[in-house]
Amino acid sequence: MDDGHATERYRKAGRALLGWLLSPLVDGLAAAGVHANEVTVVSLVAGLVAGAALAFDQFGWATAAILFASLGDAVDGMLARRTGSASVGGALLDAAVDRYGEFFILAGLAVLFHESTPMLVLVLLALAGSFMVSYGSAKAEALRVAVPDGMMRRAERATVLCVGVAMVPFAGVLARRLEVPWLQHAPILFALGIVAVAA
């Protein structure tokens, strides 16, 4: 089996596991009458909060907000299918919110690193790569051709960036102890590099 098929197999297994884990939450939201689009909008707000926190170098708050936004991104589609409310409009809203959420996070990092040209360029490269992966996939679907296999789809990008953001507070403690200031933001810069190159 080639790498592309193996990657898709792992993605399907991951989605199945995530669906099983989130099923009780989705059932609870459905029982409470929550609409999938409401979850989507809440995840957008969480993405905006994450971006603002990153702009102010508050990586702990940013991590919590990104995790919350990612949870909403996973739940809204499941909730729409569970309640039979899936629609073209809802899918379009979800896709737009995904792009905006990713933009908010990377824009927050751009604001944070705006005084360093190399760091800012790295953020912009990650932003360009992220959007081009999404554009390429959408264009392929519009042309009715198979979406190319590859790394750095939405889930992979979100995971890499979230891990990078989450590691910054720990790296900050280490940087202060070792008196090596540049080490503080090393995890998120490494994550941005992965996204920029792989995307």
* Mean of pLDDT values over 180-185: 91
User: Which band of pLDDT confidence, cut at 50, 70 and 90, is reported for residue 1?
Assistant: very low
Q: What is the pLDDT of residue 97?
A: 92
pLDDT by residue (tens digit) across 95-128?
A: 899 999 999 999 999 999 999 999 999 999 999 9
Residue written as tokens 């507070």?
169
pTM listed for this prediction: 0.85
In angstroms, the CA 69 to CA 167 distance is: 18
In angstroms, the CA 63 to CA 69 distance is: 10
Contact 69, 52 (CB under 8 A): no
Using only C-alpha atoms, the chain has a radius of gyration, in whole angstroms, of: 18
154 CA to centre of own chain: 6
Burial of 89 (0-12, 13-18, 19+ CB in 10 A): exposed
* Mean of pLDDT values over 147-162: 80
What six digits make up the tokens of 92?
């379009």
Name the region of 84 (left: φ>0; alpha: ψ -120 to 50; beta: rest).
left
pLDDT by residue (tens digit) across 51-92?
A: 999 999 999 999 999 999 988 888 888 888 888 888 888 888
Residue written as tokens 């995530």?
18
**Which comes out higher in pLDDT, residue 102 or 8?**
102
Q: What is the pLDDT of residue 149?
A: 66
For the four alpha carbons of 195, 69, 147 and 139, in that order, the dihedral sign comes to negative
Q: What is the pLDDT of residue 122?
A: 97
Measured CA to CA in angstroms, residue 47 lies from 2, 44, 70, 97 at distances of 35, 5, 9, 9
